[in-house]
């Protein structure tokens, strides 16, 4: 990741002054043991204009996280006032925006910006129905490390692991079309209910069929948490409250339930939002206990910073400059992209595939680039799950 480019780009961004911080969490900042800069990386990113799919979302899903430790702090009648640590909670069923105001529309309720300790209506508190996964045995199999320091690089020479974060979204189907056209495989680190897209397993939304298509096409399914909440010590820098252990577990369990509802299994690979999963917060140990391989990256084209037709060429240039720095004969790449951005999906993805293939790289899933057999990539419920 080119830190100087990253910081300079952020410095040029205008202040964001809507009801809550921008809900598109497309920036893979690094926290913890490999931290590079303490910056609030959510500024300056915009949602794709609403579509009929997005309008179909039931924003006021009634099934909220019953275990919230903040339930006693609910304020009656605070539907449009200030909220948060200094002001208290919003009325029951309302949301506390990242900017600290109560409301009940997506500008207030979308994850990850909604302050869910101060608003019971936040999207990240919606719990999917279906069998729970908390009692599933979390056996560690194979040679790939679980939890801990995490994995930053592929190990199989000649492989290029193309990965996408934050979907499924409106452009994900287009990405799948491109991957099919070139007959290459990728890994999708998916959130369950963020950026106002609605729960991925919710009937009437397109996400479940897209995820099923991913799997049937041979792509790897992986977790990026339920609501894209910061899991580790970098939460404050993202404008979020630090998670309790219970809340961190809910971010993983809820996504597992949704994946299981869609596919009949759930992944053993995850990528932490904001690359934030350190020892000090307890996140690294939690991921080990849950049986997750924690995946980072070593090749970032910064497509989340260059989201217009006029600027996406900058990400193409980063790719073109970085790719030749390793040889397929003895090197490998672990890439990160974001399929929630139109230019990444429609322009950058094909550029990456064509360039990598022409240079002799084999585009594969993360599991393949680590030499991990496919039977290790997922878990099933097993007996005793309810």
Residues known to be catalytic? 165, 338
Given phi > 0 = left and psi -120 to 50 = alpha, else beta, which region is 110? Answer: beta
DSSP state for residue 82 in the 8-state scheme? B
Longest dimension (CA), the chain: 65
Could you please report the per-residue DSSP string of 205-261?
SSHHHHHHHHHHTTPEEEE--SS----STTTGGGT-PPPPHHHHHHHHHHHHHHHHH
Residues 6+ apart with CB under 8 A from 220: 185, 186, 187, 188, 267, 269, 365, 366, 367, 377
| Bridge partner residues of 84 (DSSP) | 88
Distance CA 341, CA 375 (A): 31
Q: HSE (CB half, 13 Å, CA atoms) of 196?
A: 26
Q: Residue 178: count other Cβ atoms within 10 Å of its Cβ.
A: 16
Report H helices in the chain: 3-11, 52-55, 106-109, 172-182, 207-216, 245-263, 283-289, 312-322, 342-343, 349-358, 366-369
Residues 307/313, Cβ–Cβ less than 8 Å: no
Q: HSE (CB half, 13 Å, CA atoms) of 220?
A: 33
- Give buried/exposed letters for 183-196 (b at 16+ CB in 10 A, else e): ebbbbbbbbbbbbb
């Amino acid at each position: 990741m080119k830190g100087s480019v990253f910081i300079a780009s952020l410095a040029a961004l205008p202040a964001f002054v809507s009801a809550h911080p921008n809900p598109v969490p497309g920036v893979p900042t690094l926290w913890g043991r490999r931290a590079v800069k303490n910056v609030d990386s959510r500024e300056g990113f915009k949602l794709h204009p609403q579509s009929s799919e997005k309008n179909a979302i039931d924003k006021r899903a009634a099934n909220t996280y019953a275990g919230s430790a903040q339930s006693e702090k609910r304020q009656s009648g605070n539907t449009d006032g200030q909220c948060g640590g200094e002001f208290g909670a919003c009325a029951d069923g309302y949301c506390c925006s990242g900017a600290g105001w109560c409301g009940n529309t997506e500008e207030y309720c979308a994850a990850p910006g909604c302050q869910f300790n101060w608003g019971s209506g936040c999207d990240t508190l919606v719990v999917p129905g279906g069998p729970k996964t908390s009692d599933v045995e979390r056996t560690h199999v194979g040679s790939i490390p679980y939890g801990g320091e995490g994995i930053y690089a592929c190990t199989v020479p000649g492989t290029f692991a193309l990965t996408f974060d934050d979907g499924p979204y409106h452009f994900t189907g287009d990405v799948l079309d491109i991957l099919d056209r070139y007959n290459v495989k990728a890994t999708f680190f998916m959130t369950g209910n963020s950026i106002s897209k609605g729960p991925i397993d919710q009937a009437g939304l397109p996400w479940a069929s897209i995820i099923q298509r991913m799997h049937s096409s041979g792509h790897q399914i992986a977790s990026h948490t339920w609501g894209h909440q910061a899991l580790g010590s970098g939460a404050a820098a993202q404008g979020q409250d630090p998670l309790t252990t219970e809340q961190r577990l809910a971010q993983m369990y809820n996504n597992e339930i949704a994946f299981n509802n869609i596919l009949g299994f759930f992944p053993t690979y995850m990528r932490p939002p904001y690359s934030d999963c350190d020892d000090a917060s307890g996140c690294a140990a939690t991921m080990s206990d849950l049986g997750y391989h924690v995946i980072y990256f070593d090749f970032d084209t910064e497509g989340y910073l260059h989201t217009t037709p006029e600027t996406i060429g900058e990400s193409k240039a980063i790719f073109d400059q970085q790719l030749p720095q390793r040889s397929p004969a003895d090197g490998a790449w672990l890439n990160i992209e974001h399929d929630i951005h139109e230019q990444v999906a429609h322009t950058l993805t094909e550029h990456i595939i064509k360039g990598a293939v022409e240079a002799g790289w084999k585009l594969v899933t993360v599991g393949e680039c680590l030499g991990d057999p496919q039977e290790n990539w997922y878990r099933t419920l097993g007996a005793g799950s309810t």
